[in-house]
Amino acid sequence: MTSDPFFHPVSGFDLPRFAGVPSFMRLPHLPPEHSRRSEVDIGLVGVPWDSGTTNRPGPRHGPRQLRDASTMIRAQHGVSGLRPFEMVNCADLGDVGPNPADIQDSLDRITAYYDDLVQAGITPLTAGGDHLTSLPVLRALARNGPLGMVLFDSHTDLFHSYFGGTMYTHGTPFRRAVEEGLLDPKRVVQIGIRGTTYDSEDRDFAASVGIRVIPIEEFHARGPGDVMAEARQIVGAAPTYLSYDIDFVDPAFAPGTGTPELGGPNSYQALQVVRELQGVNLVGADMVEVSPPFDMSGNTAFLAVSIMFEMLCIMAAQRAKG
């Protein structure tokens, strides 16, 4: 399976990387009405939304900065030599338009948008947005049954509610997803959890439904290779979602996020953990919580899109086989 040259990104040898309208990874931009959208295998989608944020806002600006930073991504993976854009048809599908002043309206708009992608057979690679973004995406992707999930994060996002009963925030999406039957908790692994906590309510819930939580101390003690072997075993061969909160990474490497926690992995490990998912049956993936107003050097966005390229390589290899 090879891709149509129409879907190849612009090369930096032809047009310098600082030039041109910045689409994701310099891919063609295919808005909903575009005639060739039905040919897309993997669609990169922005969800510029942060209404679920309980502390420092900003991820609504994430997709645009991620597009800008993504112009640094070249055609070939540095280690595997894979050239994903030549294996399957990739495209920038544009952004889902959220309603910044209405959470329920936004949840509905996002799910509707992803329902269309699922119907068109497009595997979505999402650039958030805060972590509440994962919930409406999962609602579309799990129409045929609960999914497994690998979560890289410093928080479980499994809380029941905030501020006296508010159910939809960026601290609750996976509680809702389990309650709604979108995730199979036995096939969910959360990696990198750390930081001070209010209490253990989230961890107690995880334990009660069978979600595997790997705190950062265990991650550092065992090493990424060993931890990811367990993760692969947990999710198995069934359909799986990959969710990556950039605050998984240590804030020295990824300062541009709203709720950083200290003591996380470095940038080498941040890439490595995704590489270790080679072969996992990914039906979708997201990169969330990149907050440009707190990313003065732009390095957070560059790391985040580099991780997205790792995700894309795995998804492309799988679809090419498929």
Contact window for a copy of itself (CB under 8 A) among 71-79, 117-125, 173-181, 278-286: 71-79
Write down the least CB distance from residue 72 to a copy of itself, Å. 8
Write down the least CB distance from residue 188 to a copy of itself, Å. 20
Q: How many residues bind a copy of itself (CB under 8 A)?
A: 94
Residue 23 as a binder of a copy of itself (CB under 8 A): the answer is yes
Tell me how far the alpha carbon of residue 239 is from its chain's centroid. Answer: 16
The residue among 30 and 149 lying less far from a copy of itself, judged by its C-beta, is: 30
Question: Collapsing DSSP states into helix, strand and coil, what is residue 94?
Answer: strand
Q: What is the residue whose two structure tokens read 């969710």? A: 243
Sheet holding 183-193, edge to edge: 90-95, 42-46, 123-127, 282-288, 240-245, 147-152, 183-193, 212-215
Write down the least CB distance from residue 64 to a copy of itself, Å. 6
The residue among 25 and 282 lying less far from a copy of itself, judged by its C-beta, is: 25
Judge whether 40 and 314 are in contact, CB under 8 Å.
Answer: no
Instruction: For the segment 191-220, give every residue that binds a copy of itself (CB under 8 A).
Output: 193-200, 215-217, 220
Residue type, 68: D
Contact window for a copy of itself (CB under 8 A) among 19-27, 180-188, 227-235, 314-322: 19-27
Residue 35 as a binder of a copy of itself (CB under 8 A): the answer is no
- Sort residue 263 into left (φ over 0), alpha (ψ -120 to 50) or beta: left
Instruction: For the segment 272-311, give every residue that binds a copy of itself (CB under 8 A).
Output: 272, 293-294, 296-297, 299, 302-303, 306, 309
Residue 112 as a binder of a copy of itself (CB under 8 A): the answer is no
Q: Which of 108, 209, 253, 281 binds a copy of itself (CB under 8 A)?
A: 253
Instruction: Look at the chain and count its residues.
Output: 322
Q: Which of 35, 164, 208, 321 binds a copy of itself (CB under 8 A)?
A: 164
Write down the least CB distance from residue 77 to a copy of itself, Å. 6
Q: Which of 40, 41, 87, 94 binds a copy of itself (CB under 8 A)?
A: 94
Task: Give, rounded to a whole angstrom, the gap between the first and last alpha carbons of the chain.
Answer: 9
The residue among 127 and 147 lying less far from a copy of itself, judged by its C-beta, is: 127
The residue among 41 and 250 lying less far from a copy of itself, judged by its C-beta, is: 250
Judge whether 256 and 294 are in contact, CB under 8 Å.
Answer: yes
Residue 268 and residue 250: Cα distance in Å, rounded? 11
Residue 96 and residue 74: Cα distance in Å, rounded? 26
Write down the least CB distance from residue 120 to a copy of itself, Å. 19
Write down the least CB distance from residue 148 to a copy of itself, Å. 26
Q: In terms of DSSP bridges, do strands 183-193 and 90-95 run parallel, antiparallel, or are they unpaired?
A: unpaired
DSSP string covering 109-128: HHHHHHHHHHHTTPEEEEE-
- Sort residue 30 into left (φ over 0), alpha (ψ -120 to 50) or beta: beta
Judge whether 215 and 155 are in contact, CB under 8 Å.
Answer: no
Residue 233 as a binder of a copy of itself (CB under 8 A): the answer is no
Q: Which of 50, 153, 157, 276 binds a copy of itself (CB under 8 A)?
A: 50
